[in-house]
Every structure is written in C-alpha cells, then in structure tokens.
C-alpha cells in the first residue's frame, strides 16, 4: 500500500511540474505577478511529492518488500543496510527517480536563495526547471516506473550488483547526478535570460555560483568514479575512456569553459552569447550523458536496460531541449552586444582561446564516443574507438589550455602589454624549463613527455605564486574567490603531476605465486604468506596475505581477495592497496592455478603519485567552495541598483 502512495505522489508531482512549467511563464508574458508568484510554491510542492515517492521506495528497500519488482531486482535480505539505501539508485528506474529528486531539490534551492532576484527572472528560471522535470517525470511514469509490483513476491531479491557494493559507489552516483542536474540550473538561467531579452552582466552573476556548485559536484563524482575503477575493478587503471566516463567528462569540460566565460560576462560584459551557448551545450551534454548511460545503447556496468523505448524517449527530450533553446538563441542572441573591444593579447582573448580549446576537446571526445553507436545504429558494422585515439587527441589539446592558464591569469583585461607580460612570465618559464629538463634528462625513465608534464605543472604552480605575490603587494581586501581560483588551478597542476608520474613511472608484474614465493618491483618485495577462506555477510572469499618489504624491512601486509557472492556465480576481485603520498602499492589476486604445488595468479603494481589524481580533484572542489563563498554573490541587489 505504501508503495502505491509513492506512485500516486509521483503522478501528482508530474501534474505540479506541468503547472510549474507553464503558468509562471505565461505570467511573465501577461505581466501577471500572481501567476509568476506560483513558481515558488509549486517548486516546493513538487519537491515534497517527489521526496515522498522516493521515501516510499527507500522504505520498501529497508523492509525487504520484494513484492516491489524494482526492489526484488536490486536488493537482498542479506544486503547491509547502507547498501539497501544505495540499492534504490542501483538500477535504471530508481536512479531516474533520484535524478528528478535532485532536480526538484535544485529548484527549491533556487527558490530559496533567489530572494533578491527580480520576480519575473525567478519565475522564468523555475518554470524552465519545471518543464525539464515534467519531461523526466513523464519518462519515469510512462517507461520506467520503479513502483511496479511483482506478484507473487519472490522469497529473496536478486541482490545489488556486487561491483556496486562499495562505499565509494554509494556516493558516486548521487554526486555525479548532482552535477548533471546542477547544470540544468545554469541552463535555466541562460534560457530565462534569452526569454527576457536582457542578457546583461546581472544574469551571469546570478548564474555563476550555481554553475560552480554543479561543477564541484561533477568534479567530485568523476573523481570518485575514477577512484572506484582504480581500486574495485582490479586492474589498476583509473581512466579507460569508457563511453560512460566520457559521458561525464564532456559536460565537465563544457562546464569548465562555462565558468570562465561567465566570469568574463559578469566582470566585463563580454562573451554573452558564448556563455549562453556554453550553458545550453553543457546541459545538452548532461542529457546526452544520461541517454548514453541509461538507454542501454552502451554496454557497461552503468547500462541497466535494453529497452529501446527508453532511449528514444530521452533522445526526444534531448532533441526538444537542444532544438528549442537553440531556436530561442538564434532569435534573441543577436541582441546581445559584444561588450567592448577586446585586445588580441588580453585576459579575454586567452580565456576565449581556452574555452574554444575545451569545446574542441569535447567535440573530439564526442566523436570517439558516439561514432561507433551511430555506425551500429545505421547497421554499417561494429567497431570501437580505442583509448589511443583519445590519448592522442586529448593530451595535445590540453597542453595549450594548461599553458594559457598562466598568461591568462597575469594578463590585463582588454589589452595587455606584451613586454610586461613577458617580463612577468620569465620566472615561471625558467622554473618550468629547469624542472622539465631535469626530469627528462636525470630521472631513470624520463622522456620528453614526462619532462613536459612536470614542466607544465611547475609552470602553473610558479605562475600562480607570481600572481599571488603580485596581488599581496596591492592594497585592499583579497576576495575568497581569488584564493578559490588559485586553489582550483593548483588542483589542475597536482592532477598533471599525478598523470605524468603514473603514466611515466608505474610498474606492473603479473606473476604466479605459491606460498613463500616473492616478487620484486621498484625496491619493494612482495611475499605470498598464506591464502585463507574468509566469510563475508553475503559472500565467501579467498584471501591472500602478501607481506611487503622495502629494503628488507617489513612495511605492510596486503590482503587481496577473490570474492564469490551467494546471490550470483560472479566472482569479484577485491584489490588490496597500500596508499601513500608518493606511491601506491597495489595487489590483485587472480585465479588459482592447479598443479603439483598450488599457485595463484597475482598482479602487483607500483603506482607513483597516483593519489595526486584525486588529491588534485579535492583541491579543485575546495577552490570552487571558496569562490562560491564570496560575498559579492550575495549582494546582487546592491550591485543591480548600481
């Protein structure tokens, strides 16, 4: 009965979303304040109804109500409680419900934090969000309801995919979704600006903190996903150019470009049309990502359904969003003024160059991601695009982006003097060349590429130190957003260091080991001590104990496992990792190899600086947090009046 209440609440939510999406918008045309004022209460009501629906599904998961088909497919009586909660978004239907829950949550946040915004603007933004929500609610209700019953109920559920039974994965999807959905707010602001015809700096200022928050969530989500792939999939990789990863990387790249373009629009009044296009693009890529991940056109751990109807529904939604917003753009954008002359060497020109490069990189990733799908859909054969393509294309495009981060930050707005710019860059350039050359020439396996990677990272770090020193010399309070920007840029440098060292200096050995055997990589000795059977709550595992020595000193016992979950015959590799600031040691266990003497296949990795990848992401997120804490975003009314 409870689950039916949830279903009913969701139907009501869809009706409310339709009202929220239409009446306030009509109100702005008719200049009817009362109709516009409907936006906020409908947004709150919609959120309450979706939260109720979501709550009933979580309740069903917690009490093991396997008469609900979705729960029977995702959960199991033996599943630990946190995973039961997570199992609600472990499948297609529930994850979409989480999508709309977050969308309505963002809408409520907009309603609450927009007290200082003019009512028509708020009404437009909330209405656009309402329309998106209505689309997704209809999608859930028509094609993928999680509230379907399964009669008679099975005695036990099928269990959550063992790959997903992991603390990292409990928070990865919600984070990524917060990012995906968060860009809908930036999109709604852009569309609202187009509708109003007022594409001024105020629009960009309102939109900036929302975009940064969405970007922060997305960064967290991507980093968590990458970290999860690293420790859970058992082959030590952290980025596979899997279509699903690309689906999250593309909006992230657009979002990064959008953050910077919005800054120019806010501060200088330039790039208005460009900002709007980027906002539309970022959200469209989020929808495309949802389509790729959820439609079943891709086959991966993320693809739940193979129901073509669902894919087509999202595709239609995507076509509507892109079509309508671009039409609106074509109609209104010519009204956007250029916002003054821009010098060829100026902060603007470098920001523009970088955002164009980010868009080109996104296009290249998009090509590699969807080309195989299109060829397959047209029945022209089956093919895939290998990781070498992405590496060959992405790295050369990112090098100039990272290079331009320094002059872009130092150069003046409007027109920079080449001479003084060159003078300011002498220090970072010298440091970068020295560091890069040292790595290339004097480290064991140094190459031109590793030298360049380290050189770039040093370039960015010294570059931002120069900027900070420069700023400290000037009087006046330094805004948190200044520190936020440099912290995020520092994060980029840290990620570059991580990528360079892992790619350039990692070591890997696949060996077979009997008890007492040992293997050596990079000054570390690994000795297999024993293999025991371990019982988990819903699995049984073979666990190896591998003693690690450095220079003869024992430092750690790593215990990789090979698990077998009761609910499926699917074995799982659980790698054991010794984390460190400057290196990870990674041991994964393979199959037993029968013979006279029992042996096991063991894979050992030495991963230098791998944790810097995620450390860099943490710095980026903290940087974003600092910049949204800036007071100027909360004083919009004052600046508006000015």
Q: CB-wise, 396 or 516, nearer to another protein?
A: 396
Name residue 285's beta-bridge partners.
Answer: none
Residues 6+ apart with CB under 8 A from 474: none
CB of 389 to another protein, least distance (A): 3
CB of 387 to another protein, least distance (A): 8
3-state secondary structure of 198: coil
CB of 302 to another protein, least distance (A): 9
3-state secondary structure of 115: coil
Q: Tell me how far apart the alpha carbons of residues 217 and 176 are, in angstroms, rounded to a whole number.
A: 6
What is the sign of the dihedral through the CA atoms of 451, 456, 460 and 465? positive
Q: Tell me how far apart the alpha carbons of residues 512 and 595 are, in angstroms, rounded to a whole number.
A: 11
First and final C-alpha spacing in the chain: 57
CB of 37 to another protein, least distance (A): 48
Q: CB-wise, 316 or 392, nearer to another protein?
A: 392
Q: CB-wise, 93 or 159, nearer to another protein?
A: 159
Residue 562 in tokens = 């090979």
> Where do the H-state alpha helices sit in 31-80?
33-37, 39-62, 69-74
18, 132 Cβ separation under 8 angstroms: no
CB of 195 to another protein, least distance (A): 32
Q: CB-wise, 470 or 510, nearer to another protein?
A: 510
CB of 246 to another protein, least distance (A): 14
Torsion angle in degrees (nearest 10) through CA of 433, 434, 440, 444: -160
CB of 494 to another protein, least distance (A): 27
CB of 218 to another protein, least distance (A): 23
Annotate 397-464 with DSSP letters as a single string: HHHHHHHHHHHHHHSPSS---HHHHHHHTHHHHHHHHHHHHHHHHHSTT--HHHHHHHHHHHHHHHHH
Q: CB-wise, 119 or 387, nearer to another protein?
A: 387
Q: CB-wise, 85 or 601, nearer to another protein?
A: 601
Q: CB-wise, 36 or 161, nearer to another protein?
A: 161
Q: Tell me how far apart the alpha carbons of residues 84 and 74 are, in angstroms, rounded to a whole number.
A: 8
CB of 241 to another protein, least distance (A): 10
- The residue ranges that bind another protein (CB under 8 A) are 161, 163, 233-235, 299-301, 344, 356, 360, 364, 367-368, 371, 381-386, 388-389, 392-393, 396-397, 510-512, 568-573, 588, 590-591, 593, 601, 603
Q: Please give the helix or strand (H or E) that residue 268 lies within, else none.
A: helix 243-268
Q: CB-wise, 384 or 447, nearer to another protein?
A: 384
Q: CB-wise, 412 or 512, nearer to another protein?
A: 512
Q: Tell me how far apart the alpha carbons of residues 245 and 240 are, in angstroms, rounded to a whole number.
A: 8
CB of 593 to another protein, least distance (A): 6
Q: Tell me how far apart the alpha carbons of residues 114 and 108 are, in angstroms, rounded to a whole number.
A: 10
Q: Tell me how far apart the alpha carbons of residues 319 and 488 are, in angstroms, rounded to a whole number.
A: 34
Q: Tell me how far apart the alpha carbons of residues 114 and 106 are, in angstroms, rounded to a whole number.
A: 12
Q: Tell me how far apart the alpha carbons of residues 249 and 588 are, in angstroms, rounded to a whole number.
A: 28
CB of 563 to another protein, least distance (A): 10
Q: Tell me how far apart the alpha carbons of residues 593 and 523 are, in angstroms, rounded to a whole number.
A: 27
Q: CB-wise, 306 or 635, nearer to another protein?
A: 306
CB of 626 to another protein, least distance (A): 34
Which DSSP category does 66 fall into? T
Q: Tell me how far apart the alpha carbons of residues 263 and 257 are, in angstroms, rounded to a whole number.
A: 10
Q: Tell me how far apart the alpha carbons of residues 617 and 221 are, in angstroms, rounded to a whole number.
A: 10
Q: CB-wise, 588 or 620, nearer to another protein?
A: 588
Q: CB-wise, 241 or 329, nearer to another protein?
A: 241
Q: CB-wise, 371 or 413, nearer to another protein?
A: 371
Q: Please, what's the largest Cα pairwise distance for the chain?
A: 86
CB of 450 to another protein, least distance (A): 21
**CA angle, residues 432, 434, 436, in degrees to nearest 5:** 65
Residue 46 in tokens = 């919609």
CB of 567 to another protein, least distance (A): 10
Q: CB-wise, 163 or 316, nearer to another protein?
A: 163
Q: 423 burial class (0-12, 13-18, 19+ CB within 10 angstroms)? A: exposed
């Amino acid at each position: 009965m409870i689950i039916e209440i949830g279903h009913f609440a969701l139907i009501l939510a869809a009706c409310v979303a339709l009202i929220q999406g239409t009446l306030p918008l009509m109100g702005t045309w008719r200049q009817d304040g009362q109709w516009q004022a409907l936006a906020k209460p409908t947004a709150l009501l919609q959120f309450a109804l979706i939260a109720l629906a979501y709550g009933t599904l979580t309740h069903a998961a917690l009490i093991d109500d396997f008469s609900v088909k979705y729960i029977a497919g995702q959960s199991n009586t033996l599943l630990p409680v946190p995973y039961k909660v997570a199992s609600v978004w472990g499948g297609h239907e529930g994850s979409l419900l989480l999508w709309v829950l977050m969308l309505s949550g963002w809408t409520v946040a907009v309603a609450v934090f927009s007290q200082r915004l003019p009512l028509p603007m708020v009404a437009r933004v909330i209405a656009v969000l309402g329309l998106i929500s209505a689309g997704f609610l209809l999608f859930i209700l028509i094609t993928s309801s999680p509230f379907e019953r399964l009669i008679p109920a099975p005695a036990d559920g099928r269990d959550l995919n063992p790959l997903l039974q992991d603390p990292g994965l409990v928070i990865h999807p919600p984070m990524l979704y917060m990012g995906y959905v968060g860009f809908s707010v930036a999109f709604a602001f852009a569309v609202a600006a187009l509708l109003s015809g007022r594409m001024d700096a105020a629009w960009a200022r309102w939109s900036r903190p929302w975009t940064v928050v969405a970007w922060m969530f997305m960064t967290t989500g991507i980093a968590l996903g990458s970290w999860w792939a690293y420790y859970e999939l058992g082959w030590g990789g952290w980025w596979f150019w899997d279509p699903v990863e690309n689906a999250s990387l593309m909006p992230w790249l657009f979002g990064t470009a959008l953050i910077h373009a919005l800054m120019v629009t806010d501060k200088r009044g330039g790039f208005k049309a460009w900002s709007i296009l980027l906002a539309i693009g970022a959200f469209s890529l989020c929808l495309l990502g949802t389509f790729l991940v959820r439609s079943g056109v891709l086959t991966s751990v993320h693809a739940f359904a193979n129901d073509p109807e669902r894919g087509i529904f999202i595709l239609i939604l995507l076509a509507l969003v892109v079509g309508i917003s671009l039409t609106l753009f074509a109609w209104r954008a010519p009204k956007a003024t250029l916002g003054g002359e821009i010098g060829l060497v100026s902060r603007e020109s470098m920001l523009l160059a970088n955002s164009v490069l980010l868009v080109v990189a996104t296009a290249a990733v998009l090509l590699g991601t969807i080309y195989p799908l299109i060829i397959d859909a047209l029945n022209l054969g089956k093919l895939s695009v290998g990781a070498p393509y992405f590496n060959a294309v992405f790295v050369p495009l990112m090098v100039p982006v990272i290079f331009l981060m320094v002059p872009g930050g130092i150069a003046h707005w409007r027109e920079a003097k080449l001479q003084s710019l060159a003078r300011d860059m002498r220090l970072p350039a010298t440091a970068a060349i020295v560091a890069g050359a040292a790595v290339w020439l004097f480290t064991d396996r140094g190459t031109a590429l590793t030298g360049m990677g380290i050189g770039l990272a040093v370039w960015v770090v010294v570059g931002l130190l120069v900027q900070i020193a420069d700023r400290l010399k000037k009087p006046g309070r330094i805004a948190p957003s200044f520190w936020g920007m440099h912290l995020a840029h520092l994060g980029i440098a840290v990620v570059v260091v991580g990528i360079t060292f892992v790619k350039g200096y990692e070591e890997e050995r696949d060996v077979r080991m009997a008890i007492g055997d040992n293997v050596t990589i990079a000054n570390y000795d690994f000795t297999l001590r024993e293999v025991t059977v371990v019982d988990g709550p819903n699995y049984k595992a073979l666990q190896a104990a591998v003693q690690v020595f450095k220079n003869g000193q024992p430092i750690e016992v790593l215990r990789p496992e090979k698990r077998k979950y009761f609910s499926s015959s699917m074995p799982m590799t659980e790698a054991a990792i010794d984390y460190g600031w400057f290196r990870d040691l990674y041991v994964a266990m393979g199959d037993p190899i029968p013979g006279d003497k029992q042996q096991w296949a063991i894979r050992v990795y030495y991963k230098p600086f791998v944790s810097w990848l995620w450390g860099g992401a943490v710095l980026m997120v903290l940087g974003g947090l600092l910049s949204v804490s800036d007071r100027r975003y909360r004083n919009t009314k004052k600046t508006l009046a000015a």
